[in-house]
């Protein structure tokens, strides 16, 4: 089984590249989805996060309000580091279990889509690292149009992340998503077809 670690900054096109890879036959493990599931179902994890960040991050129903938590961590590097220290060990175990499950099912290619793959030190899970990049202007536009963030919120999220140039140093493949969807699909297909073992 081949494991491709797919990473990149916010709104850099990871999900679109993932979608194309699924069409080409890959299986995706999306770390954000694993995190959402953990936040919903892992009571111990919820309690640990609330103990650190306080009741202010809870909805009226007593659930963690991810938007409110996001507002806190994306404007405070220390808060983001604390949240990652709580979340990452659990997510790592959940992802490793999923990978093992796919290995037993004899899956050929699994894409591990993890925004913080490099920062979290998870690169050893993957055989190759693919990094998506786009210009800051494109990322800002995507965050404002698709996610509904203000320019200030978008810049705060971009600023809280590892610079693209730093990510590229770890990359086996860099995919520039600053293009039309057809062109992007062609770029992904080219990388896919160049790998004889896929």
What structural domains and CATH numbers belong to the chain?
2-191 (3.40.50.300)
Q: What is the pLDDT of residue 29?
A: 97
State pLDDT tens for residues 64-118. Answer: 998 899 889 988 889 999 999 999 999 999 999 999 999 999 999 999 999 999 9
| Alpha-carbon gap, residue 56 to 99, rounded angstroms | 35
Contacts of 171 (CB under 8 A, 6+ apart): 129, 130, 131
Q: What is the pLDDT of residue 154?
A: 86
Q: What is the pLDDT of residue 196?
A: 54
- Chunked into runs of 10 residues, the chain (198 residues) has average pLDDT values of 95 95 95 90 92 92 89 89 93 95 96 94 95 94 87 85 93 97 96 77
List the alpha helices (DSSP H) in the chain. Answer: 14-23, 31-41, 43-53, 66-73, 77-104, 136-142, 151-159, 164-168, 181-193
- Token readout for 90 is 């659990």
What are 55's strand-pairing partners?
none
């Amino acid at each position: 089984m081949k494991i491709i670690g797919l990473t990149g900054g916010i709104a850099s096109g990871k999900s679109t590249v993932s979608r194309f890879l699924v069409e080409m036959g890959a299986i995706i493990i999306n770390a954000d989805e694993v995190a959402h599931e953990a936040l919903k179902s892992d009571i111990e994890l919820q309690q640990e996060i609330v103990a650190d960040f306080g009741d202010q991050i809870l909805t009226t129903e007593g659930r963690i309000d991810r938007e409110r938590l996001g507002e806190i961590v994306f404007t405070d590097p220390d808060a983001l580091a604390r949240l990652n220290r709580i979340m990452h060990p659990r997510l790592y175990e959940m992802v490793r279990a999923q990978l093992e499950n796919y290995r037993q099912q004899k899956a050929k290619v699994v894409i591990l889509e993890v925004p913080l793959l490099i920062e979290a030190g998870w690169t050893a899970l993957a055989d190759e690292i693919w990094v998506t990049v786009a210009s800051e202007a494109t990322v800002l536009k995507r965050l404002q149009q698709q996610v509904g963030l203000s320019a200030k919120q978008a810049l705060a999220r971009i600023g809280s992340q590892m610079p693209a140039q730093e990510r590229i140093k770890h990359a086996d493949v860099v995919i520039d998503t600053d293009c039309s969807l057809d062109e992007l699909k062609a770029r992904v297909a080219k990388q896919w077809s160049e790998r004889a073992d896929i």
